[in-house]
Amino acid sequence: MSDSSFGEMAGKYITMNIAQPFMEGNGSARRIWLDMLLVDTIGKCVDWSAIEKYDSLFAFRESPVDSAHTYDVINDA
């Protein structure tokens, strides 16, 4: 998968979230990794402080079934 668009990079983030089997742990590393991809490729950085904790937890928990919530949470920040 190429890194040419925000949607593709968010998709990689969702895949990494699904691959991580634990509810807690490595979230900070995934956020930093996504920000590095975004800044290097399209000059965008997610404002993680603008995302409500409940919204992100719900979205990430739902991502194996419906990734649309995660795209929305990340894109709106």
Q: What is the pLDDT of residues 14-73, one digit of tens each?
A: 888 777 766 666 778 888 888 888 888 888 888 888 989 888 888 888 888 888 888 888
| Per-residue CA distances from 34 to 8, 38 (Å) | 11, 6
28 within some domain? yes
CA distance 49 to 18: 22
1 within some domain? no
pLDDT bracket for residue 4 (50, 70, 90): low
pLDDT value at 2 more than 70: no
CATH of the domain at 67: 1.10.3290.10
Total structural domains in the chain? 1
pLDDT bracket for residue 1 (50, 70, 90): very low
Output DSSP code: residue 45: -
Predicted TM-score (pTM) above 0.85:
no
18 within some domain? yes
Structure tokens at 10: 């968010």
Domain enclosing residue 30, as ranges: 6-76
CA distance 38 to 40: 6
